[in-house]
Amino acid sequence: MLVDTHCHVYSEYYDNIEEVIKRSRDAGVGMMVVNGVDRKSNEEILRLVKEYDIVYGALGIQPESVETATEEDFDFIEKHIGDDKIVAIGEIGLDYHYDIDREKQKEVFKRQLEIAKKYNKPVIVHSRDCIQETYDILKLSNVKGIMHCYSGSVEMAREFVKIGFYLGIGGIVTFKNAVKLLDVIKDTSLEYIVLETDSPYLSPEPYRGKVNEPANVHVILQKICAIKGLDYMEASRVTTENVLRLFDK
């Protein structure tokens, strides 16, 4: 069984979610975690987890949504974080690539980390152009989780692993310019790696330019196996066990 720990399978992006789910099953995906980014997506996730057996959810407010976040949005997450098949708080974090109020980002990030700690839930963390700031906050938070679409250095990867985080590896690993990420994968034990697609974004080679789907997670695992010289079935077992351990499933 394969697990896609990070995707955005919303009706906004896919005309036929039923077909996306079917293709995922056919590709060996037994679990996908649809991550929320705002109130609208969080509400849709609650519907999806009830409708499809392989769909699990993470509820969160991502950096791009912080300026419109309301108290009701935080209340909604806290109200439903204990719902069946809601396994984490995510996608949350920091993004300094865009011109978004950084203090507001930190405030919303820390607020959601507090909810995660209160309910003993892992977090799925977005970090772009601010890896040190993200690490500094997480180190003090006493929560565990996944560094989504990890893009930092080998040295920082080691530090995240030390504080209880797995590295989420997606389609970027198949890109020709992913030299730094290849070094991270070579250096990191498979016991600290999980798979993701970030669908509908970041389609792996040879599907770049097309809408990504959780079914493509097998391409990512194949590339990891090639980099580390691993057996595919064994790598599938280990990465899936990592997820189940983190989400206590």
- Tell me, what CATH number does 15's domain have? 3.20.20.140
Rounded mean pLDDT, 186-197? 98
Rounded mean pLDDT, 128-134? 97
Give the pLDDT of residue 209. Answer: 92
User: How are beta strands 123-128 and 2-7 bridged, if at all?
Assistant: unpaired
Contact 138, 163 (CB under 8 A): yes
Residue 187 has pLDDT above 90, yes or no: yes
Q: Can you tell me whether residue 45 is helix, strand or coil?
A: helix
Sheet hosting strand 145-147, strand order edge to edge: 2-7, 29-35, 55-59, 86-95, 123-128, 145-147, 165-169, 193-195
Of 249 and 238, more confident: 238
Rounded mean pLDDT, 220-238? 98
Domain enclosing residue 220, as ranges: 2-246
Please count the structural domains in the chain.
1
Residue 58 has pLDDT above 90, yes or no: yes
Rounded mean pLDDT, 218-241? 98
Rounded mean pLDDT, 88-96? 98
Residue 212 has pLDDT above 90, yes or no: yes
Rounded mean pLDDT, 20-49? 98
- By percentage, how much of the chain surpasses pLDDT 90? 99
Is the CA virtual torsion 94, 32, 144, 132 positive or negative?
negative
Q: Where are the alpha helices (H) located in 29-70, listed in sequence order?
A: 39-51
Give the pLDDT of residue 249. Answer: 79
